[in-house]
Amino acid sequence: MALKADAILLLCGVTVGLPAVAAAADGERYDPYAKMATGAHHYDMREVLQARGKFVAEPVQQPDLSLLDSLPLSARASEPQAPGQLPEGWVQIGEVVQRREIAEGRKQIDPKPLPAWEDIEGNQYPRKGTVFLNFNGGMLKAGDDNSAENKSTLARHNHPYPVFNGSEATALTLIQAVQQDLETLGVRVLYLNRPSKTVPYTMAMVGGSWSDTNISDPAGGVALGTDCEDRDQRNVVYAFDSSSATISQEVAHAWGLDHTLGSDRIMSYQAGNNKHFGDNCQALCEEQCQGPGTIGCRLIHEIYCGVDSEQQNDLAELNKIFGTPEPDTEPPTVNILPDGDVIELEVGANIEVKADIHDNYGGVGWRIKVSRDGQVALDEVDYEKVGAWYFSNLEAGTYEVVLEAEDHAEHVVQDKLTILVGTPSPPTSTGGDSEGDSEGTTAGVDSDSDDTGGSASDGSTSEVGPGADDKGGCECRSTDQGAGSALGLPLLGLWLAHRARRRRRA
């Protein structure tokens, strides 16, 4: 972010008192973000049904930029807060919050994640991406970053983050500038509509103050460092000043970029106009900017600029992650396993359901929805990308299990499985093949109680064999706002803005 000279001195002073930093090459390699969950999500359906709504989703609250012109300034400011305290294991260095073991040089992020992690659907590169610019604030919760759930490592728990302290016109100017910063990448910038919870995205909180977070020292913006190559995908960042370069820099920090030198670079502290992401190897800015231990993804930078180069190529890294902005016209394919459209079970039986999902780009997300006798009992995003659900203690009734995937072009595709538990079979269809008639939704709903919605692991694996039979009943729809549809808009435009088969199982 671009800062005034006195602010630079203030932020650099934050490094005082940090333990001595070892050379980065001496650190043990590890990867805290390339997570691999095992074991199916386990739900006792008797408990779920008795919960009466606990696992039922709530709609996503949508933004309204017009409030920026109608809400008085007095209603936007939050109460002054004492300096915050970061969770254990994190340290603040300037406006970057770093893992302590990285800052102390004891560990470094492995540039090559495990192949098994890369094989998980949605983790592949290149992937499409989404940035949601949040000018309306909202109630944030403390915890590991999850933009869909308003959870942030940097959040004060249950703290109402304030509304942007500026007009709608100012917000639209910032939006257009951020769109221009990202226009060569496969990234869409949303602001009029918040993405559904299914698709992973980065959320930038625009406005507020550093004291609205849990950092302890002033900054113009703040983001978690060390999520190299955006392996987490559901980041939350903060931009406190009214600078588009600050927003873009904090977003890029969440994707693994570090500070560089150069007054024309978004990733630089130096003041300048018309900043952009560099397409050459530019010198990293460590000790000159915030002090030793502030470069979180050095080994990734070396892939593009050479070992010990102490340089970073912004666009080379971002292009590896997101590719170019060509439209994504191919929806995901979705198959729910076990194969077969209708299954009959006895009362009290258990069943494991698995997902077989593929997409032409990384970045796809999916959710599971279970209804009993027409009543939604469970609706949850698979944030951990397990792709398996174990349902036990099934009570009598007709269950519909819907697996839904969504990509960044808002292609929403479903597959369904009907489970008849302790009930007579319905009449056999004489009309031949039948197609599903249920529409998907991009409303983006999910449980607001917890990311995992009360699920637990039963120790089984979540692997799904390839080559599962395709079934009818999959549906796809695409809304008007596809990937890149919000990119490159002029400022004026911103203003107007499946044969039923049945088998029995005991």
Lowest mean pLDDT among 72-76, 257-261, 406-410, 484-488: 484-488
Total Cβ atoms within 10 A of residue 192: 14
Amino acid at 295: I
Are 429 and 451 members of one domain?
yes
- Evaluate whether residue 328 is within a structural domain: no
State what percent of residues in the chain have pLDDT above 90.
68
- Evaluate whether residue 44 is within a structural domain: no
Rounded CA-CA distance 316/303 in Å is 10
Q: Single out the residue in 277, 297, 322 at which a domain terminates.
A: 322
For residue range 216-248, list pLDDT tens digits in order.
999 999 999 899 999 999 999 999 988 999 999
Are 265 and 313 members of one domain?
yes
- Mode of pairing for the β-strands spanning 333-337 and 351-358: antiparallel
Are 295 and 373 members of one domain?
no
What average pLDDT is seen over the chain?
A: 83
Are 339 and 268 members of one domain?
no
> For helices 168-181 and 244-254, what crossing angle results, to 10°?
50
Q: How many domains does the chain have?
A: 2
pLDDT of 306 reads 98
Domain range for 109 is: 5-15+27-34+86-322
- Of residues 172 and 501, the one with the higher pLDDT is 172
Lowest mean pLDDT among 189-198, 394-403, 444-453: 444-453
**In which band, very low, low, confident or very high, does the pLDDT at 107 lie, cut at 50, 70 and 90?**
very high
- Evaluate whether residue 40 is within a structural domain: no
Place of tokens 């994640």: 113
Mean pLDDT of 93-120: 91
- Evaluate whether residue 48 is within a structural domain: no
Mean pLDDT of 27-32: 90
Token pair, residue 94, equals 């300037």
Lowest mean pLDDT among 11-20, 111-120, 131-140, 321-330: 11-20
- Evaluate whether residue 57 is within a structural domain: no
For residue range 248-260, list pLDDT tens digits in order.
999 999 999 999 9
Are 261 and 408 members of one domain?
no
Assess whether the previous peptide bond of 325 is cis (omega < 30° from 0): no
Are 107 and 233 members of one domain?
yes
pTM check: above 0.75: yes
For residue range 153-194, list pLDDT tens digits in order.
999 999 999 999 999 999 999 999 999 999 999 999 999 999
pLDDT exceeds 50 at position 392? yes
Q: Single out the residue in 322, 349, 367 at which a domain terminates.
A: 322
pLDDT of 213 reads 96
Are 118 and 224 members of one domain?
yes
- Of residues 427 and 84, the one with the higher pLDDT is 84
pLDDT exceeds 50 at position 474? no
User: Rounded to the nearest 5°, which phi and psi values hold at 495?
Assistant: -70, -45
For CA atoms 68, 69, 71, 77, the dihedral sign is positive
pLDDT of 335 reads 98
Mean pLDDT of 84-108: 91
Mean pLDDT of 384-399: 98
pLDDT of 424 reads 57
Evaluate whether 479 touches 504 at the Cβ level (below 8 Å): no
Mean pLDDT of 288-305: 90
For residue range 326-359, list pLDDT tens digits in order.
999 999 999 999 998 999 999 999 999 999 999 9
Mean pLDDT of 435-454: 40
- Of residues 397 and 14, the one with the higher pLDDT is 397
Mean pLDDT of 397-407: 98
User: What stretch of H or E contains 49?
Assistant: helix 45-51
pLDDT of 13 reads 30
Q: How many CA atoms lie within 13 A of 479 on its CB side?
A: 18
